[in-house]
Amino acid sequence: MKLYYSRLQIELTRRCNQSCAHCCRGESQNIDLTKEIVDEYFEKNEIYYIGTLLFSGGDPTLNGKILEYIVDKIIEKEIIVDMFMFGINGLSYSDELVNGLNKLRDYILLKSEKQRHWPGVLMVSQDQFHKEANPEVVEKLQRLTYFSPINKHIMKEENILPYGRALENGLSKQQPDLNKLIDYQKNYRIREYKGDTYLVISYQYISANGNIINDGCQSYDLMDEYALGNVQNQCIEEIYTKGPLKKLKRL
């Protein structure tokens, strides 16, 4: 069964060089995505398409080399990717991360089904909670064609997610909602097309420890507690059709 992702988000690391009061993750952890986990994922699964590929952390620049490794795998497997998108805090710079993004940009422009002239975007998060970005880092980033100009803004209380430090600090007007974590039925369907079977997934989050999660906008503790499975132990098809989700109705 081939995998068809509308959005796939990959967590490069749980390390961070900030401790923002509004962070929905909670305390940073000394966990990096490894080549072994990446190899298991790409070897166990036949990935056909990724609409939007997102990278996250922690701060992704702290494990930039794994991003380049992921991109090399995508190119090797000839996986169609339409665009990439992610943000960093702008305190550190990673040559490996930028090299990987440049490779991904060139590959998307060459292979994308939609023939995009805009392959993706790299942003620097700047609000009242983040430290000021390093000017030397920003100067380097501004040379990239996919870098989005910095938009310093005030994050509104209603937009702060009520998990992790934000929940502990009482910074959010929202109430914690686990529905996105546990409501797996709305997130996938199985389709037949031209003789092939596709597992179509609206959104999936791969954590730095290999866990597969239905919603990435949560604390690390909740994401680990409600993980569907782990890419080191099962392929994605098994997780959805033979694991704890096997009794769910196929849409």
User: How far is residue 153's CA from residue 139's CA, in Å, rounded to a whole number?
Assistant: 20
Closest CA to 70 of 103, 48, 93, 92: 103
pTM more than 0.75 = yes
2-241 topology per CATH: TIM Barrel (3.20.20)
Position 247 scores a pLDDT of 41
Position 111 scores a pLDDT of 81
- Phi/psi of residue 124, nearest 5 degrees: -110, 125
Position 113 scores a pLDDT of 59
On whether the CB atoms of residues 176 and 167 are closer than 8 A, the answer is yes
Q: What is the pLDDT of residues 125-174, one digit of tens each?
A: 999 999 999 999 999 999 999 999 998 999 999 999 999 999 999 999 89
Domain coordinates in residue numbering, the chain: 2-241
Position 180 scores a pLDDT of 82
Spans of the chain below 70 pLDDT: 112-117, 243-251
